[in-house]
Amino acid sequence: MPTVYRETDVAPLLQKAVAVLGYGSQGRAQALNLRDSGVELRVGVRPGASAERARTDGFEPVSVRSAAEGADVLALCLPDVEMGRMFEEEIRPVLREGAALVFAHGFAVHYGLVQAPQQADVVLVAPMGAGPVVRQRFEEGSGVPGLVAVGQDATGTALEVALGYGSAIGLGRVAMLETTFREETESDLFGEQAVLCGGLPELMRASFRTLAEGGVQPEIAYIAAVHEVKLIVDLIYERGLDGMVQSISGTAEWGAYEAGPKVIGEESRNGLRELWERVRSGAFARDWIEEAASGGNELARRRKVFLDDPLHEVGTSVRGWTDLSATTRG
């Protein structure tokens, strides 16, 4: 059982010069939550859409280098694969001794893209939620849970900084679970590949196709294979997988035991082991870093293939029926 921390004192953070670098999904949410918690901060971004957004939100954005200069706490809310280059070019030259580098995901540290100097604290404060959710829950007076880890403790206060930062962005209102950079990085990558962004969407697409080929009207196929996933996920989120099977009909439960092992058979189990090995060995990270460095053409090609699917148009029309989407909000 991981150690669980709740809200800690943010007062030490109020005395520090804080810089949020990047103002995208996480950067914006964290910067706004920090400000609402009374933390004074600088936002560092390049000119463009993010900088405009920060200005609209009442910040006066500066360059990444200017924000990093003299900062005690630096939150690197930048693209994972860009972080190494940006750290060397914009951050390391102005990094003050004893500063804390705060990461929202362990990728860049675990795979060696960012190698911090020995005099810096390196901590992970990883919200378990997309940026807009981190912000929305905070505004509602709650938060999302998060993972915290200490990668390097140069000052002896790295954990205190991580917990103070996590509390200031709202994670401490729920729970901050202690982990390691390695565990967070590998479990996060595996989870998004095997289930969240890879496995589950592919299962939805394949099921939609099977139903449509079987003569089911596309809208009905979409509802059965894609749209209704939210209802079951909400149930699992609230009551767990055990609570879910106790809430569904006997017909659904009997069908589930028949179908589950057929859908996830030996081939799929081997595929999952292979994914895990690729994450563990660093092979996945190596390929992705190379792809990003060479301009992301293969990523663009695969995205085009993914988007070239009649399913999406059907989805747009289904989501347009307001009374149907109202039932999924309940």
Ligand X SMILES: NC(=O)c1ccc[n+]([C@@H]2O[C@H](COP(=O)([O-])OP(=O)(O)OC[C@H]3O[C@@H](n4cnc5c(N)ncnc54)[C@H](OP(=O)(O)O)[C@@H]3O)[C@@H](O)[C@H]2O)c1
Residue positions annotated with a catalytic role = 105
Report residue 248 as tokens.
Answer: 């569904």
Provide, rounded to whole angstroms, the least separation between the CB of residue 232 and ligand X: 23
User: Is there binding between residue 289 and ligand X (CB under 6 A)?
Assistant: no
Among 10, 13, 32, 104, binds ligand X (CB under 6 A): 104
Q: From the CA atom positions of the chain, what is the Rg in Å? A: 22
Strand partners, 62: 44
Provide, rounded to whole angstroms, the least separation between the CB of residue 167 and ligand X: 17
Calpha distance 72→10 (Å, rounded): 14
* Contact stretch for ligand X (CB under 6 A) within 18-26, 141-149, 233-241, 313-321: 18-26
From the list 32, 40, 12, 1, the residue with the least C-alpha distance to 159 is 12
Report residue 279 as tokens.
Answer: 């994450």
User: Is there binding between residue 31 and ligand X (CB under 6 A)?
Assistant: no
Calpha distance 209→215 (Å, rounded): 10
* Contact stretch for ligand X (CB under 6 A) within 22-30, 194-202, 302-310, 321-329: 22-30
How many residues at the interface with ligand X, by CB under 6 A?
Answer: 24
User: Is there binding between residue 23 and ligand X (CB under 6 A)?
Assistant: yes
Calpha distance 96→103 (Å, rounded): 17
Calpha distance 67→96 (Å, rounded): 12
Calpha distance 217→226 (Å, rounded): 14
- Hey, which residues between 105 and 144 contact ligand X (CB under 6 A)? 105, 126-127, 130-131
User: Is there binding between residue 164 and ligand X (CB under 6 A)?
Assistant: no
* Contact stretch for ligand X (CB under 6 A) within 80-88, 142-150, 153-161, 168-176: 80-88
Provide, rounded to whole angstroms, the least separation between the CB of residue 113 and ligand X: 11
Provide, rounded to whole angstroms, the least separation between the CB of residue 70 and ligand X: 18
Across 50-120, the runs of DSSP E, i.e. the strands, are 73-76, 100-103
**Residue matched to tokens 């918690």:** 37
Of 22 and 143, the one with the shorter C-beta distance to ligand X is: 22
Report residue 45 as tokens.
Answer: 């971004």
Which residues of the shown chain bind ligand X in the complex (CB under 6 A)?
A: 22-27, 45-46, 48-50, 64, 77-80, 82, 86, 104-105, 126-127, 130-131
